[in-house]
Amino acid sequence: MSTDVRRRYVDGPYGQVHLYEAGARGAGKRPMVCFHQSPLSGRTFDAFMRELGGERYMVAPDTPGFGHADAPPKALSIEEYATAHSAVIDAMDLGEMDVIGVHTGARIAVEFTRLHRDQVKHVVLVGVGVYTEEERAKQRAWTGASSQPTENSDGSHLVRLWNNWAQFRGPGVTDAMIERYVSDSLRNRGNVANAMNAVFSHDMAAALGDLEQPVLVFNVRDDVYGPTARSAEVMKNGRVVDLSPSGLWPLETRTEEIAEMVRAHCGG
């Protein structure tokens, strides 16, 4: 049963944090906390939250420095992003919960789970970068080039930004979906390098391998397809579902199908 998505601000450790919410607190199944990809925002979960909000409370906070959330005064590590989210979620007193994270948000979700080992019961991840050192260096160079600030530009960087996202479009992806990614990327352009540095300094293999919770990983045809497949080698209690030929935007293009798998994974 689909439901509406609401928005509001709460106080966080670095200023105001913007939240997307769906469903009713204290009703139905365990709440689910959603952590987004950088440099995007919680609105990337809109369709997914509408789909599941009829049966559980859903919340997607904007990560500090992204979306409409105030930026921290310094660059943060993935662990520090997770701690910042913890301050917000702990204040909400959700009790037991499940989590989902996409790309950067997958790393944050894993570290958030490590901070809340008794509360988080199930983990869902999309795009899990378990890199080799060669892959890490290649990704750092590629994302670094695409996130360079510009001044007195002829606007060609906007085309490059569009193409950086559009190269990973798969079946069902519309121009409007890409436009939302481009829009979020432009809003938070000055903070992108900080998030990318946090990503490439984070040891996903060790962190993911530390989890005891059941983990469901969705793999799509994007820039971390190979490293995501490798996550199966490090998980204690997880499985990888290949969503080929889908690229980015699987939560929008295959919402009902993914929601059904999440229901089966997370249970009550």
pLDDT of residue 146: 58
pLDDT of residue 148: 60
For the record, the structure tokens of 265 come out as: 């994974």
| β partners of residue 238 | 215
Q: Which domains does the chain have, with CATH numbers?
A: 5-266 (3.40.50.1820)
- Terminal alpha carbon distance of the chain: 16
For the record, the structure tokens of 186 come out as: 């432009």
What is d(CA 8, CA 159) in angstroms, rounded to the nearest whole number?
32
pLDDT of residue 267: 86
pLDDT of residue 259: 97
pLDDT tens for 92-116 read 999 999 999 999 999 999 999 999 9
Whether residue 17 contacts residue 11, with contact meaning beta carbons closer than 8 Å, is answered with yes
**Structural Rg of the chain based on CA atoms:** 17
Positions of the chain with pLDDT lower than 70, given as ranges: 1, 144-152, 268
Q: Record the pTM.
A: 0.95
| β partners of residue 219 | 242
